[in-house]
Structure 1
Amino acid sequence: MDALATLAAVGSSVVFCLLFAAVVRRVLGVPVSLVRAALAALAASFAANPLLAGLIGTPADDGRPDLALGLYLALVMVFAVVLAMLLLVVAEILVPDGSLPGPLELWRNGRARLARSRRYAQILRILAGRGLTRFLRGREPRASSSAERRELARSLRLALEEGGVAFVKLGQQLSTRRDLLPPEVVDELSRLQDAAAPIPFAEVRDVLTREWGRPPEAELVALAERPMGSASIAQVHAATLRDGTEVVLKVQRPGIAETVERDLDIVARLASTLAERTSWGERIGIRALADGFADALREELDFGVELRSTALVASELAATPGVRVPRTYPQLSTARLLVMERMPGRPLGAAADLLAALGPQRRREIADTLLGVVMGQVLRTGVFHVDLHPGNVLVDDDGTVALLDLGSVGRLGDATRENLVRLFGAIGTGSSQAATDALLDLVDRPEEVDERALEQAVGTVLLRFSSGGPGAAAAAFAALFRLVADHGLGVPPAVAAVFRAVATLEGTLLLVDPEHDMVARVQALGHEQLAAATEPAALRDGLEREVVALLPVLRRLPRRVDRLADAAEHGRLSVGVRLLGDRRDRDLVVRLWHQGLQTVLAATAGLMAVALFAIGPGPGASRGVGVFWVLGTTLLCAACVLALRVLMAVLRRQG
């Protein structure tokens, strides 16, 4: 019986606590977690009676025990509600609701948090070993001389290489942001090597068996054990299909996706730390850089994206002579395995003798073809190869080139492509005003821009383009990047990818033809784009698109004009302007009005309570308890409730 009584008492206490928590949540007016509200209600239930007794005392027996005890219990309940609300507001200030994971989430993520902590310690050891931890404390990454900046850049590169695949990829992406980083850092990060030791052949077989659901022999008659190349994300093996077709298999490293996800989480946390604790981290938008990098790397891990990009580029270049893209095999490819046609030829970096045998004229044609392909992708189709370095271009004995590794591609919308056409056209004509207008439409412009100074700076950069010569394009685009940074303009990731593609492409073109003048070809392409945009067919197509967009408006226009004329003729024409037409504006005004009203009521109730306490106890409700004190306590509780509601709402919006 004692056990049953104890169980019944515990159950009734739990039910009372939950009901009390529901009342507190309702009075507070802001959603909070039930666990937090229940804990506050439990603490307030135990503390309300002693605290209130200390403030106003306890009722004495004066022949009216029921009345005195009833008033006192009512005050205790109201005071408990106020106390619970106060505890919730204090908890919201110290630890905002939702900032801590629940017990189930803690249990599920315990092992992941432990692994991340070990990874944190490893990264901190790497940073400490390279002398980079001082920048985590907010110190500006500056050096007094170019030699010191080079040493700092070298330490950063070595630290990224030690960090693993995600950090190597991050460094490679940062090497394209000349608008954010000094030239010494960019040059050093450009040397990052995305290479790794080969995985054992047995693991390659296991991946093929798992992805195909059958042994590799079911699809292949030959599979080379020695990889053709090994990178941090995947390695490539030569193979032969059962029909005799020679292919290459791009096999993703086992477990690399989990490793990358763990490191991306750390990159995001480090970016948030640098943004909060350093001035330079917030200034360069390091959070946005980390988010864009994470999206790009996750896309690179999905070989289905590369499969679709390769097929799309192959279809667009099918009619282009001298350029090939490997055929893909979707029926044999998965998210972690890509099967492609094996292309003949050698990488440009290892084909110096072959290029020399082709002769200067043929080499110039190959360079012009590669430039035309990339610029055509950028300005017309919108899907372009971002990283066309010499290792991603094969050249055959007859000079035919093949484009490889389309996992890293950029994508441009119609508006961005049109603005790029205007920019390259302005570069071709040397018009600084047109180039400035196109540049402002390409970048993220702040509220205030000194357009006159910007136009003068753009004119200076165009002079670099006009000078021409081998290797001038990279310097000119680097100057354009620095110009953008100096004027506080933000470069969208897609536009930065275009400049990265152009800078990488110039090095490849100079390897094909050391005398290739990319600047002159870009200027010629700009003239061609402007000429193509003013051709009758292009003007007709543009006009047709505009007419299609305006057709619904034009169809309704006569009827609306007739209505306006009729209203004007009969004196019914009026113009109405609706204030606060947007629902969000109305909600804001209503919310501010409610909070202002609650604030006024809280202040009024508080002042009345102070006045009642100052007047005195008043007529006795019971011995030792006056009516004025009871009313003052009630008003004080009401003032606290209203004030806490407003404070909680303000804290929630700020959080």
Structure 2
Amino acid sequence: MEPLNVTSVLGMIFGQVFSLFMLILVLLGLGKLASRLMDVPFNLPRLALSALLGAPAGSVGAILAYYGSFDALNSTDPARMDQPGFMALMLFAMAVGSMLAFVAFELLMPRGTRVRPVAMLRETSDLFGRLGRYRRILWILVRHGLGGYVIGRREGVEDTSVQRRLARSLSRSMEEAGVVFVKLGQAVATRRDLLPPVFVEELSRLHSEVARVPYDEIRDCVAAELGRGIDEVFADFTAEPLAAASIAQAHPARLLGGEEVVVKVQRPGIGPVVRRDLDIIRRLAKRMEEHTAWGPAIGVRDLAEGFADALLEELDFEVEATNIAAVAEASVDSPVRIPRVYEAYTSRRVLVMERLHGNQIDGTGLPEERGEEIAKTLLDCLLEQVLVGGIFHADPHPGNILLLDDGGVGLLDYGSVGRLDARTREALQMMLLAIDRGDAVLLTDTLLDVVDDPGEIDPERLRRSLGQFMARYLHGGATASMRMFTELLMLVTRFGLVLPAELAAVFRALATLEGTLVFLAPGFDTVSEAKRYAGARMSEQLDSGNLRELATGELLALLPTLRRLPRRLDRITDQLHKGRFTVQARLFAHPEDRRLLRSVVRRAVMTVLAVVTGFMSVGLFNVTEQTGVAWSDLATHTQALNLLAWILLAATAMFVLRLLVDMVRDGAENRRR
């Protein structure tokens, strides 16, 4: 056996290391070039992964291009494989393959997408958890006779007896499905503007009384949240709860200072269950929005999001404490009692607040006059919160209203509140005024002023539709109800308009309150009373003192414009006198228009370049093609033309990939809008 030549071995090792080093440099250079040419973010881990996938594919392409087939490669002298031409082609092909794989990753996983193995495993685990939850919910529905309706059966739903049976089965299914679905049923039960009366009646029977948490767990939770023993905070803490609801349990207690309080303690382990079920509800709402005609009309996705946000806020009692303080500050003169919060003893899972003595409303045992008085007080309170304070109770269902022993009214549970800015409050007042006067023009102008993006809407067609809407609900002896506002939302949606979420929340809260007031005063005209309040507010604002103050404020806001107005008028009249008055109009002044123009021009240029380079590449391949002659045996100028053909082909591929990247990004941006 011949001894190894150390020089040869070192030379071979050096050659391999040098080749690897050159490949890395070429990959980095082409990766940077690809990021610039195709607006793809340069990312070293992506580039390394692209090299692992693209380099082998590129080497196969180089072998086929140089030798024609793998059979020719097998019959070739191994010494010829070290020729500089073949090595250069191999290196170039591997680099191009890696670059194309790098760009392909941008198509599959766009900018900002990160591969997180732990997150992927967690998502997979969540998927299996959802599938298990789907199976359990489906089994509950099937067991209560609702399986056929899940797959789209509609027979007999117009029959009253079938509706009654269906509503009762739905109520029992929601009760068995758990906390989120019980809360959803309670919320939907107040929406008489959306559901038939039989469904409202059955879902209203959903109760929140569930199995009570043992006192030992409550005591441990309070001690852990407050950081001290229960005896160090309370002089007395009753083990028997006032109520055991689906999310929290309320216990009467007395502080060391003697104040009577209610301690609201979150049920152990409720957070993950609620979040999982809310995720399911969001997904179901998304499918309804995409695959039904009524879903977008009533904004089912927004309803689900609003419900989910409100329920998630209910899981954080510190948020509720902040909400109570804000609403109390905005409703300081209201006759409705709002419990005081003891912030020193409040945490995310424990809320300590003033105890109000009374009973929840059920409509029994109240004289008709007393019921009407309480209903009017509650409505005025909510409207004052909406139109004056700008922060309002977003879920005034019967369980959150207390008839106090001293004859007053208390409003509880501020886990969900809505907030309005001054402009939205003013627009809401104008909408109520327009509805009161039957003024379709004013209502149209107010809607177009407050919607997120009017777009290319036809104002005259919208005005006629709103006129017909008001004629249907406000004239001819028809009784107006909060269903009118739901119809208004549906009408606005049909025109492609989107009301601000906070304004839609006002309508939902009013609809919920109307369902609540039925318990107090059957036949109570919520819409008429709301118009009465809005009219009184408008008259109060137009009072001599308030009007003078309002006019002074508007005049102060106009002062800068008024100061500049004489100079501008003088300049305009001077230009008119000299015949130099001109009007300049900028084309594509809007950023979106400029972006669209740039995108169209860029794509047109890239398309032309791709076609030109593609035809040039095909032409050069035809010129340099010599059957039966290896690339290494071609003349030097023929090799150069053949190499140029490959470069042009690679350029064509890059232009095509850039077009694909642009189209994928535009599609993603359109979906986000």
Aligned to 1:458, which of 470, 474, 484?
470
DSSP-derived class of the 2:263 partner: strand
Match in the other structure for 1:193: 207
Match in the other structure for 2:180: 166
1:40 and 2:46 matched: no
| 1:18 positional shift | 5.6
Aligned partners of 1:492, 1:164: CA distance in 2, in Å? 31
Aligned partners of 2:270, 2:295: CA distance in 1, in Å? 28
Match in the other structure for 2:487: 482
- Superposition map of 1:370-519 within 5 A: 370-429=378-437, 434=442, 447-448=457-458, 449-463=461-475, 476-482=481-487, 484-485=489-490, 488=494, 492-506=500-514, 508-513=516-521, 518=526
**Higher deviation after alignment, 400-409 or 172-181:** 172-181
Distance 1:230 1:586, change over 3 A: same
Match in the other structure for 2:359: 346
1:204 and 2:239 matched: no
| 1:629 positional shift | 3.0
| 1:328 positional shift | 1.7
Distance 1:635 1:503, change over 3 A: closer
Q: Once the two structures are superposed, what CA deviation does each residue of 1:610-649 show, in whole Å capped at 9, x if it has no partner? A: 1122234489974157434333223222222222233233
Aligned partners of 1:373, 1:211: CA distance in 2, in Å? 34
Q: Contact 2:288–2:295 (CA<8 Å) still a contact in 1? A: yes
Q: Once the two structures are superposed, what CA deviation does each residue of 1:84-141 show, in whole Å capped at 9, x if it has no partner? A: 344455556666676674224335666555544533443444455456677777x597
Q: Contact 1:224–1:238 (CA<8 Å) still a contact in 2? A: yes
Distance 1:590 1:450, change over 3 A: closer
Could you tell me which amino acid in structure 2 is paired with residue 262 of structure 1? R
Aligned alpha-carbon RMSD (Å): 4.3
Match in the other structure for 2:276: 262
Q: Once the two structures are superposed, what CA deviation does each residue of 1:459-509 show, in whole Å capped at 9, x if it has no partner? A: 221137x66xxxx66xx2214423542562656543444344434444554
**Higher deviation after alignment, 380-389 or 16-25:** 16-25
Aligned partners of 1:516, 1:284: CA distance in 2, in Å? 25
Distance 1:529 1:143, change over 3 A: farther
| 1:39 positional shift | 2.9
Aligned partners of 1:405, 1:272: CA distance in 2, in Å? 28
- Superposition map of 1:268-279 within 5 A: 268-276=282-290
- Superposition map of 1:1-80 within 5 A: 19=25, 21-28=27-34, 29=38, 30-31=40-41, 34-57=44-67, 69-80=83-94
DSSP-derived class of the 2:362 partner: helix
**Higher deviation after alignment, 335-344 or 267-276:** 267-276
Distance 1:396 1:118, change over 3 A: closer
**Higher deviation after alignment, 44-53 or 13-22:** 13-22
Aligned partners of 2:418, 2:616: CA distance in 1, in Å? 67
Aligned partners of 2:174, 2:541: CA distance in 1, in Å? 45
Q: Contact 2:482–2:514 (CA<8 Å) still a contact in 1? A: no
| 1:307 positional shift | 1.8
Q: Once the two structures are superposed, what CA deviation does each residue of 1:158-181 show, in whole Å capped at 9, x if it has no partner? A: 443333223333344445666766
Aligned partners of 2:523, 2:652: CA distance in 1, in Å? 82
| 1:225 positional shift | 0.6
Aligned partners of 1:573, 1:283: CA distance in 2, in Å? 50
Aligned partners of 2:561, 2:436: CA distance in 1, in Å? 38
DSSP-derived class of the 1:326 partner: coil
Q: Contact 1:142–1:149 (CA<8 Å) still a contact in 2? A: no
DSSP-derived class of the 1:405 partner: coil
Distance 1:313 1:253, change over 3 A: same
Could you tell me which amino acid in structure 1 is paired with residue 59 of structure 2? N
DSSP-derived class of the 2:475 partner: helix
Q: Contact 1:425–1:527 (CA<8 Å) still a contact in 2? A: yes
Match in the other structure for 2:671: none
**Higher deviation after alignment, 387-396 or 452-461:** 387-396
Aligned to 2:656, which of 635, 643, 648?
643
Aligned to 1:292, which of 306, 318, 339?
306
Distance 1:599 1:539, change over 3 A: same
* Structure 1 residue ranges without an equivalent (≥5): none
- TM-score (normalizing by structure 2): 0.80
Could you tell me which amino acid in structure 1 is paired with residue 662 of structure 2? A
Distance 1:629 1:374, change over 3 A: closer
DSSP-derived class of the 1:196 partner: coil
Q: Contact 2:361–2:403 (CA<8 Å) still a contact in 1? A: yes
| 1:248 positional shift | 0.8
Distance 1:216 1:145, change over 3 A: same
Match in the other structure for 2:321: 307
Distance 1:553 1:270, change over 3 A: same
Q: Contact 2:297–2:490 (CA<8 Å) still a contact in 1? A: no
Aligned partners of 1:32, 1:184: CA distance in 2, in Å? 61
Aligned to 2:264, which of 250, 258, 271?
250
Aligned to 1:603, which of 605, 611, 619?
611
Q: Contact 1:220–1:242 (CA<8 Å) still a contact in 2? A: yes
* Structure 2 residue ranges without an equivalent (≥5): 74-78, 669-673
Could you tell me which amino acid in structure 1 is paired with residue 361 of structure 2? L
Identical aligned residues as a percent: 39
Distance 1:9 1:228, change over 3 A: farther
Could you tell me which amino acid in structure 2 is paired with residue 57 of structure 1? Y
Could you tell me which amino acid in structure 2 is paired with residue 456 of structure 1? Q
| 1:190 positional shift | 4.6
| 1:212 positional shift | 1.1
| 1:244 positional shift | 1.0
| 1:249 positional shift | 0.9
DSSP-derived class of the 1:577 partner: coil
Aligned partners of 2:341, 2:439: CA distance in 1, in Å? 44
Aligned partners of 2:592, 2:199: CA distance in 1, in Å? 46
Q: Contact 2:23–2:95 (CA<8 Å) still a contact in 1? A: no
Aligned partners of 2:43, 2:300: CA distance in 1, in Å? 33
Match in the other structure for 1:232: 246
Could you tell me which amino acid in structure 1 is paired with residue 344 of structure 2? Q
Q: Contact 2:289–2:295 (CA<8 Å) still a contact in 1? A: yes
Match in the other structure for 1:219: 233
